[in-house]
Structure formats: structure tokens, C-alpha cells
Amino acid sequence: MNAAQARKVVAYMRTSTDEQDNGIEAQRAAILRAAEFYGWEVIAELSDQISGGTDMSKRPKGSLALGMVREGLADALVVAKLDRLSRSVPDFGRILEDARKEGWGVVVLDPNIDTTSANGELVLNVLISVAQWERRIIGERTKAALTVVRERAKAEGKNLGRPRAIPEDIVARILRESSEGKSARAIARDLTADHVPTAQGAANWSHQTVQAILGREAIATDALEVPARAT
């Protein structure tokens, strides 16, 4: 069903752990405006303060929201923005597939796309795929940059220590979240909450570790941008 056909909806909001409460309020206001326009009855307003990298089914209120539409208590799940629902192509695909099979809808207000149509589903999958592609590109660039740094250091008789043991996608995530304004402490909290192991296999991340990674990547990026001195 599309937005106009829905009658009862579940409103779902999400912020990251370091975002302010007004992020939730802004999302709530957008959903309530849409509810008034379309004539929806909002039967529940649910919100999580959790990393967007966590699958919807693993979020406390996200799993509850999915359960309500799956049980037929509401016609659709409504989110203000696409990244509030998911940042993962596989997770988003599972949500859409479940909605299609079980007869409930997913309404995303920004961008305003009907997820029940083939074109709408394609556009949303492309948007999420592009976001994941950007994260992979960041990882590949930083890997190339570190290679340049190590080669220069080796030529100069320097030792930069052990190669990085942190996966490229995790480094890309740290860089992306830092560029979005998230603090090192908040990034560390989210990585710990998402059960991402450290380079040593530990369960808990420290903000000092995140800061060290950001500093190293900044040096590596500079190495790509500044030509090596002629010898």
C-alpha cells in the first residue's frame, strides 16, 4: 500500500547516541504533519538512540515497530528520513521484502518515494547502495594512502609499526561519522554497542583509539595529496 492508502501507522524515529533530543522531535513533527495531511492514525511513536549501522530488528524500539506492523496492528511503518530506517542495503532489502510478503507498507518522507512501487524500491536501493559505495571508497583511499606512507617511510629508513588490523569498512565508518560531526567518544560508544571488536579483539573501544585512527588517516590522506620530495 502507498502513503495515501494507509490508515494506521507506526511512527519510528532514531538518533545516534551523540545527537540531541531535538533530532527526535524534528522527525516526530515531520511524521505528524504527514499524518495530518494523509489522515493517518498514529498508533505508536517509537524511538531509538542507537547507531544507524545497527539492523532494525536489533534495535529495542525498532524491533517493536516491526513487530506491530507484522502483527497487523498498523498498515505501515513511517520514518522521516531514509537513514533513520537503515544504512544497510541487506537490512533495507529484508525490511522491504517482509513488507511485500506480509502486506504492510514502508513510508519514507525524505526522499518522498513510494516504496511499494517497483520504481520507488529501485530508487531507495540505489540511494543506500551509493552510501555504502562511498564508505568503501573511503576505505580504499585510506588503504592506498597508508601504502604510500609506508613506502616513503621504508625508503627513509623509518618504521611506522605494525600494519593496521582494523578492517577497512570500520575505518571508513569512523571517518564518515567523524565527518558528520560525531565526537571520538560517541564513535567509540557506538562501536562498542554494535559489538565491533578492536584491533586486539577487545569488546570495548576507547575514544583515544578512535582519535589515533583519525590522526593516522589524516596523515595518510596528506601523503596522497603532497608529492614526495625529489631525491
Nearest to 174 by CA among 145, 150, 198, 200: 198
- Residues marked active site are found at 16
- Residue pair 75/105 in contact (Cβ under 8 Å)? The answer is yes
Q: How far is CA 116 from CA 103, 106, 124, 155, in A?
A: 10, 7, 11, 58
Cell numbers representing residue 71 in the block? 502483527
Is residue 161 left, alpha or beta, with left meaning phi > 0 and alpha meaning psi from -120 to 50? left
The alpha-helical segments, DSSP class H, found in 56-206 are 60-70, 82-85, 89-102, 118-155, 168-179, 184-193
CA angle at 194 for the pair 15 and 28, rounded to the nearest 5° = 15
